């Protein structure tokens, strides 16, 4: 009888890099377009064609490695990985085998995104990884180890159109890739999805990749098996590699299904782990199930050899230093700093660090304003709402951080009402005029002088005797109605707080 089981997941994330040209030739590196229009003898694998390594390719690989806390090799090389598939024109892929560019990295996943029962101190919190090492960092993060990041080229794309034939588009062939290989440190489908989401965010931040899963320039292979305890004895199920998962939902759903399938298979057929064997699975999203594609016997199938057309090379300290400069402050570091420096909530900081551009835009506005928290609220509640509706990003707007900072200060100092603030915001987006200019043009400056407001309050009370009688009879909603009359009489310029205070004072003496 099965006592319990646990899921073991390791990920291999393939990410296309944002170089101008392909990995080993001068063809343009760009998504889409007419099939087979951005190809040459090198990326088509024609006889006699000689590949040449792009320096920018290696540098971006180093940027990715440093962003994911890896060591960068000072000496590395390329290898040939042999396998036959129609979209691999030359019958082998140029990749890296035993001397990858990046090794021994890690990603720390914020525990705030884990279920409550998996938080530190709770019964389901796993404090050690499968190697027996502590994986909880500062009681705030769970560490996922990265074994390696290696450089390799992408293959062409198979097109299965209606009819009897399939076609190959070789435009993608030779596109520069990195493959991020983790240790088997993840214990749930949700954690695997969170890991890929975090990696995507980091690599976008350092401008290594677009990270668009729908375009295929980031995709994940999930290696999954189970540790099963039966009658006190530990068993391991065979590893399944689920290929080409192109959404966070697909990662979660595919791993969830495969875990259940493996448990059932173990119960029925007693299949156990073999270190030289794994199943290659596909994910049928429409059917909601994994399907077996092939079986393979580890690296023996690939017949790795050193790439004879590309000499091994050294990676200079200057290249690594230049890559480090491009990494800068990463999203989680920025979130923590925003919470400490600007007193933002976890939610606010996560929204405002969604992209590097947005975080820099907010920070510039915050530094120019008197209340960074109010400035954050304006950006999140007003500006991002407009951008989301128009399907735009912060790069698409014409107003500057100074516009938001001025509007924030005008509200903070109660020089305008919140209603006026919304009107100013709308006009600001339409005309690019600064809030100070709009306030002056519209005569929106709030009247805060208590004497002037008191005079208006006295007139409103004197002109509305029925409302006063209703108040004396216990109708408390009269206060709000009188407040509306004061705002109307002042053309919206009376300071709402001061006006409310005076109305209550006057009514209390009646």
Q: Cα 388 to chain center, whole Å? A: 16
Mean pLDDT for 171-187 is 96
Looking at residue 171, the DSSP 8-state letter turns out to be G
For residue 296, what pLDDT is reported? Answer: 61
Q: Which range has the worst mean pLDDT, 81-85, 343-347, 444-448?
A: 444-448
Query: Cβ distance 112 to 169 under 8 Å?
Result: no
The residue whose two tokens read 């990003």 is 393
- For residue 14, CA distances in Å to 34, 149, 175, 335, 418 come to 24, 10, 11, 26, 48
Q: Cα 115 to chain center, whole Å? A: 19
What lies within 8 Å, CB to CB, of 126 at 6+ separation is 118, 135, 142, 187
pTM of the predicted model as reported, rounded to 2 decimal places: 0.85
Mean pLDDT for 39-49 is 93
What lies within 8 Å, CB to CB, of 195 at 6+ separation is 11, 107, 109, 144, 182, 186
For residue 415, what pLDDT is reported? Answer: 83
pLDDT tens-digit profile of 433-471?
Answer: 999 999 888 877 655 556 767 777 777 777 787 777 766
The answer, yes or no, to whether residue 181 has pLDDT greater than 60, is yes
Q: Which of 103, 55, 98, 56 is nearest to 77 (CA)?
A: 98
What lies within 8 Å, CB to CB, of 77 at 6+ separation is 96, 99, 306, 307, 310, 311, 312, 313
Q: Which tokens sit at 486?
A: 């004061």
- For residue 78, CA distances in Å to 23, 188, 304, 500 come to 12, 34, 10, 75
Helix (H) or strand (E) holding 334: helix 331-341
- For residue 207, CA distances in Å to 76, 174, 343, 449 come to 23, 20, 28, 52
pLDDT tens-digit profile of 84-133?
Answer: 888 898 999 999 999 999 999 999 999 999 999 999 989 889 999 989 99
Higher-scoring residue by pLDDT: 404, 498: 404
Q: Which tokens sit at 213?
A: 């899963």
pLDDT tens-digit profile of 298-316?
Answer: 556 788 999 999 999 999 9
Residues 245 and 197: their CA atoms lie apart, in Å, by: 13
For residue 139, what pLDDT is reported? Answer: 94
Residues 174 and 21: their CA atoms lie apart, in Å, by: 9
The answer, yes or no, to whether residue 492 has pLDDT greater than 80, is no
For residue 496, what pLDDT is reported? Answer: 73
- Mean of pLDDT over the chain: 90
Q: Which range has the worst mean pLDDT, 237-251, 342-356, 429-443?
A: 429-443
Can you state the angle between helices 496-508 and 478-489, rounded to 10 degrees?
A: 130
What lies within 8 Å, CB to CB, of 426 at 6+ separation is none
Q: Which tokens sit at 209?
A: 């990749």
Looking at residue 36, the DSSP 8-state letter turns out to be T
The answer, yes or no, to whether residue 477 has pLDDT greater than 80, is no
Residues 139 and 121: their CA atoms lie apart, in Å, by: 9
Query: Cβ distance 393 to 355 under 8 Å?
Result: yes
């Amino acid at each position: 009888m099965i006592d319990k089981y646990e899921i073991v997941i390791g990920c291999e994330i393939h990410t296309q890099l944002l170089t101008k040209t392909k990995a080993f030739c001068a063809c343009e590196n760009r998504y889409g377009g007419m099939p087979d229009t951005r190809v040459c003898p090198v990326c088509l694998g024609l006889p006699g064609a000689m590949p040449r390594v792009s320096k920018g390719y290696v540098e971006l690989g180093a940027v990715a490695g440093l962003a994911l806390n890896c060591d960068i090799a000072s000496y590395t090389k390329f290898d040939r990985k042999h396998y036959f598939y129609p979209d691999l024109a030359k019958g082998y892929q140029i990749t890296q085998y035993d001397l990858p560019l990046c090794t021994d990295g890690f990603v720390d996943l914020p525990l705030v995104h884990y279920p409550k029962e998996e938080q530190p101190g709770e019964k389901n919190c796993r404090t050690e990884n499968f190697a027996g090492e502590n994986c909880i960092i500062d009681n705030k993060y769970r560490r996922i180890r990265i074994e390696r990041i290696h450089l390799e080229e992408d293959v062409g794309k198979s097109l299965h159109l209606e009819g009897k034939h399939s076609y190959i588009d070789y435009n993608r062939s030779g596109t520069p890739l990195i493959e991020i290989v983790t240790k088997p440190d993840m214990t749930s489908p949700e954690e695997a999805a969170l890991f890929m989401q975090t990696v995507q965010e980091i690599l976008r931040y350092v401008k290594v990749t677009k990270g668009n899963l729908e375009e295929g320039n980031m995709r994940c292979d999930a290696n999954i098996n189970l540790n099963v305890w039966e009658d006190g004895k530990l068993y391991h199920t065979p590893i399944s590699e689920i290929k080409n998962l192109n959404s966070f939902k697909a990662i979660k759903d595919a791993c969830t299904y495969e875990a259940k399938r493996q448990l059932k298979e173990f119960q029925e057929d007693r299949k156990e782990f073999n270190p030289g064997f794994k199943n290659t699975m596909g994910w049928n999203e429409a059917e909601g199930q994994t399907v077996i594609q092939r079986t393979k016997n580890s690296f023996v199938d690939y017949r790795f050899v050193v790439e004879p057309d590309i000499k091994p090379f050294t990676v200079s300290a200057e290249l690594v230093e230049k890559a480090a400069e491009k990494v800068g402050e990463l999203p989680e570091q920025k979130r923590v700093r925003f919470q400490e420096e600007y007193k933002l909530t976890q939610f606010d900081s996560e929204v405002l660090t969604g992209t590097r551009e947005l975080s820099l835009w907010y920070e510039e506005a915050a530094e120019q304003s008197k209340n960074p928290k109010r400035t954050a609220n304006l950006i999140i509640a007003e500006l991002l709402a407009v951008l989301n509706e128009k399907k735009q990003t912060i790069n698409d707007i014409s107003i500057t951080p100074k516009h938001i900072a001025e509007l924030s200060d005008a509200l903070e100092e109660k020089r305008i009402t919140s209603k006026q603030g919304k009107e100013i915001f709308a006009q600001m987006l339409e005309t690019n005029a600064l809030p100070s200019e709009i306030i002056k043009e519209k005569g929106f400056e709030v009247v805060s002088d208590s004497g002037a407001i008191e005079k208006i309050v006295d007139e409103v009370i004197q002109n509305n005797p029925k409302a006063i009688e209703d108040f004396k009879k216990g109708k408390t909603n009269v206060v709000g109605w009188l407040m509306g009359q004061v705002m109307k009489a002042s053309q919206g310029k009376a300071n709402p707080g001061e006006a409310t205070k005076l109305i209550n004072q006057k009514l209390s003496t009646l």
